[in-house]
Amino acid sequence: MGILNVTPDSFSDGGEFNSVEKAVIHAKEMVADGAHIIDVGGESTRPGYTPVSIEEEIARVVPVIQAITSELDVLVSIDSFKSEVAEAAVQAGAHIINDVWGAKHDPRIAEVAARHNVPIILMHNRKNEDYGTDFWATAKADLEESIQIALEAGVKREKIWLDPGIGFAKSFEQNIEMMKNLSNLSDMGYPVLLATSRKRMIGTILDLPVDERMEGTGATCCYGVSNGCHIMRVHDVKPIARMMKTMDSLK
């Protein structure tokens, strides 16, 4: 999954692709480099991000989704936690909903997924970093709540994907703990998307700025494959796609 942020303020590539023409060119590059899915986001979710209105977010993503789906044979996901944005995006041609709040911020987003029969990615997130004495048990319970919301909204079980939420509501140590539980996450019985690309956890490990974290990202992706993850959401598609192809052969 190649990341396409059509935002002015995303942590790694804000402002680079916030026109339809630039976005489509980058999407074509990522597909040529090996991306199977293009993840379009219209609002940054980095720490301290500036919220945008529903109307603004729709205005950012819909023209890009329409352009990509008309020019490329590739799956498109909409990176949003708002049901209205998800609805507009799917109507514009998006095939997948990617919700960083796991259907908890706006449960109606699960109804959108059910109505259109599209997959929904439920990311682990919460409002605090208090996991009590058993981190994984608490995180798993959080994810099970998201799964239940989706199922009760009518989403088919085979349309649910999970994301461990690296970098969201977790300290450095808790991010590492979540990585160590990827095999347990995979054992929950749903496809797992891993989104570690260029994140602060990698920057902390390597003591490197955001534009020098590709190798660290690759290491986390290889580790993810070894522990049952199925989809990698990345900025640097070409090198990571090569690593994943090699990992597939080894596996």
Closest CA to 162 of 198, 128, 195, 116: 195
Q: Half-sphere exposure of 185 toward its Cβ, with a 13 Å CA cutoff?
A: 32
β pairing state of 231-232 and 193-194: parallel
Residue 220 class from Cβ within 10 Å (0-12 exposed, 13-18 middle, 19+ buried)?
Answer: buried
Residue 144 class from Cβ within 10 Å (0-12 exposed, 13-18 middle, 19+ buried)?
Answer: exposed
Closest CA to 34 of 249, 247, 234, 212: 234
* Tokens 């095999």, residue located: 183
Is-catalytic flag, 199? yes
Q: Where are the alpha helices (DSSP H) in 50-166?
A: 54-71, 83-92, 108-116, 135-152
Quote the longest CA-to-CA distance of the chain.
50
Is-catalytic flag, 233? yes
In angstroms, the CA 24 to CA 21 distance is 5
**Active-site residue, selected from the candidate residues 22, 233, 242, 245:** 233
Are 212 and 218 in contact by the 8 Å Cβ rule? The answer is no
**Active-site residue, selected from the candidate residues 60, 104, 199, 213:** 199
In angstroms, the CA 225 to CA 159 distance is 20
Catalytic residue numbers, as ranges: 199, 233
